[in-house]
A and B are shown apart, each in its own frame.
Chain A
C-alpha cells in the first residue's frame, strides 16, 4: 500500500508510521495524514464537504440565483422546480438562495463564538494549569458553575439578560463552550509544567510567561484542534436553536434556524420544502464538523480511534 503511493517517505518501511529518525518530522506527519486519509475515506469526504461549506460562505451571496430578500407574492409557496430549486416560501422568496446566503451568517456566528472561547479558554486554562493555587481553584469553581447549568438553557438566559442581538448570541455560545477549552488546556499545561523541556527552557533564562506561551502551550494545540472541530458543529446547532426560538437573528434575515422556524408553520399543510432544505443544510454542516473532528482525532492521536 505504501509502495503505490509516491508521497510516502520510505516505501521500504514496514508501515507508514514506522519511526524513521532520519526523516524530518514534517514529512512523516504528512505521510501519517496521507495514511489516515487513505485508511478512512470518510475523513477525505469530510474535508471536501468542509471546503464546500467554506466556498458557500465566501461566494454564496455572489452565486445565489435570486435575491434572498426579494419577495414575489405571485410565486408564493411554489414547490421545488427548475426555476426555484428548493421552491419558494410564503412570501415568494427563493429558498435555495436563502439557504446558500445563510451559510455565511451561520458559519460566522459559530466560528466567532468558538474563536472567542478558544482564546479566552486558552488564556484562563493555561494560567490556571501553570500557576495553580487560588487562581486554579477560582477558575475551576467558576467552570463548575457554568457546567452546572443545562448549557442551552444558560445560553437562553444570557441572551435574555444581555439583550436580543446576534452579538449576544455569539457571546452566549462562547460562554457555554468556554469550560471545554479551559479544562482541556488546564490539564494539558498542568501535566507539562514540570516536564524536562519546560525546566530546561526556564534554566535557559526564559520568563515564566515565555515558557508557558511558547514551550508548553503549543503542546495543547493538537487536542484543541479536535475540540474546535467538534465544537463548531455544536455551536452551529446552538446558534440555530436560539434563533429557532426567536432569539438573535431577526426576520427577514436568511439564517437556517429561523428559516426552519418559519417553515415549521407550513409543514402541517404539506409545504415541506420551506423547513426541510434549511434544516438539511444545518444538518450537513454539523455532520461535516463532527466527521472532521473524528478525522482530526485520528490524525492527532491514533490511540483514541473509535
Chain B
C-alpha cells in the first residue's frame, strides 16, 4: 500500500514540469503578439504618452524574466486578464462557459465509449464477421471525417430533412427557461429541479452535437479495443482460464477485457486531446455557448487575452485529465508502477 501511495505521489510530481512548460509556452504566446502589445492594449486613439503609460502599467517595460514572474503571479491569483469583447475578466468568462463544454464533451465520450468498446470486443471475438468489417469501416471513416462536416451533415439530415432534431442554436430552445444554476450542467440542474420538460429540451439540443463528437472519437477507441482484445484473447492466461473450465463470459469479461482495458484507457488520454480541439469546431457548428465558441468569437475580434486564457485553460484541463487517467490505471491494474526500475 505504501508503494501505491508513493507511485501516486511520484506521478503527481511528474506533472509539475509539464505544468511549468505549459505556463512558459502560454506566456511566450501572449508576448509574441503581432506588433507591440502596448500599442494594441492602448487602443487606436492612443498617442505616444498613453502608449508608454500602458506599457508601464502592463509591466511591458521590464525584462522578460520579470514579466514572466508577474504573469505567473497573476495566474496564481486566477487572473487571466480582461476580455475586450465582453469586458469581463477572462477567468470569469471561461468559468461561466466551461460547464456547457464539459457537458457536451462528457456526453460525447460516454456515448462513444458505450458504442465503441462493445463494438471492439465483438469485432475481436468474431474476426472476419460482418461486425468486424463494420468496425473497420467505422474506424477508417471516423478518422477521415472532419467533425465540422459531420455536424453539418447531421443537421441537414435530422433538422432539415427529417425534422426530428431542434434547430442547432445552442443549449436550450428559447421556449424553455434556463434551469436554476447548481452545477451548470443543464441535464443535472433540470433533473435536480424536477423540471423534466426542460430536461427533455436540453437533451434534444445535446443529442446532435454529442453524436458528432462521439462519431469522431469512436474510431480510435474501437480500434484500440479490438487490437487489445485480440492480443488478450490469444494470451496464455486466457488459454489457462479456458482450460480450467471457466465459462466464456467469465473468460471474456473477467479476464480478457479487464487486461485489454489498460491500452484502451491510454488511448482515451489521446482521444481527450482530439476531443478538446474538435469541441471548438462542433461548438461553432451548433452555436453551443461553451469555451470553444468563446475562443472563436474572441479570435475573430482579435481579443488576444481571451484566446490565450482559453489555450492555457484547455492545456491545464488536459494535463489534469491525463493525470486522472494515469491514476485510474492504478485502480484498473494493480501491477502498474510509475517509478523508475
Judging by beta carbons under 8 Å apart, are A148 and B18 in contact? yes
Judging by beta carbons under 8 Å apart, are A268 and B295 in contact? no
Judging by beta carbons under 8 Å apart, are B318 and A148 in contact? yes
Q: Kindly specify which of B56-64, B149-157, B232-240 makes contact with the partner chain.
A: B149-157
In-complex Cβ contact of B308 among A144, A148, A157, A240 (8 A): A157
Q: Kindly specify which of B74-82, B185-193, B278-286, B333-341 makes contact with the partner chain.
A: B278-286
Interface residue B71 (Cβ < 8 Å from any Cβ of A): no
Judging by beta carbons under 8 Å apart, are B160 and A233 in contact? no
In-complex Cβ contact of A290 among B22, B140, B278 (8 A): B140
Judging by beta carbons under 8 Å apart, are A160 and B140 in contact? no
Judging by beta carbons under 8 Å apart, are B308 and A161 in contact? yes
Interface 1/0s, chain B 311-339, versus A by CB < 8 A?
Answer: 10011001100100000000000000000
Judging by beta carbons under 8 Å apart, are B144 and A290 in contact? yes
Judging by beta carbons under 8 Å apart, are B22 and A148 in contact? yes
The SS class assigned to the A binding surface is helix
Total count of chain B residues near the partner, CB < 8 A: 55
In-complex Cβ contact of B32 among A161, A237, A279 (8 A): A161
Interface residue A247 (Cβ < 8 Å from any Cβ of B): yes
Contacting A at CB under 8 A, from B188-217, are none
Known: A157-B308, A161-B30, A282-B146. A150 touches B18 (CB 8 A): no
Interface size class of A (residues with CB under 8 A): 35 or more
The distance in angstroms between the C-alpha atoms of A245 and B167, with both chains bound, is 20
What is the distance, in angstroms, from B167's C-beta to the closest C-beta of chain A? 7
Interface residue B300 (Cβ < 8 Å from any Cβ of A): yes
In-complex Cβ contact of B155 among A154, A237, A267, A287 (8 A): A267
A163's nearest neighbour on chain B, judged by CB, is B34
What is the distance, in angstroms, from B173's C-beta to the closest C-beta of chain A? 14
Contacting B at CB under 8 A, from A237-275, are 237, 240-241, 244-247, 257, 260-261, 263-264, 267-270, 272, 275
Q: 12 additional contacts, CB 8 Å, given A157-B307, A161-B308, A163-B34?
A: A141-B17, A144-B21, A149-B273, A150-B318, A151-B277, A153-B310, A157-B308, A260-B152, A264-B152, A270-B156, A275-B152, A291-B140
Q: Which residues of A pack against B, CB within 8 Å?
A: 141-142, 144-146, 148-154, 156-158, 160-164, 233, 237, 240-241, 244-247, 257, 260-261, 263-264, 267-270, 272, 275-276, 279, 282-283, 286-287, 290-291, 306
Q: Which residues of B pack against A, CB within 8 Å?
A: 17-18, 21-22, 24-26, 29-30, 32-34, 140-141, 143-149, 152-153, 155-156, 159-160, 167-168, 223, 227, 272-274, 276-278, 280-281, 284-285, 295-296, 299-300, 304, 307-308, 310-311, 314-315, 318-319, 322
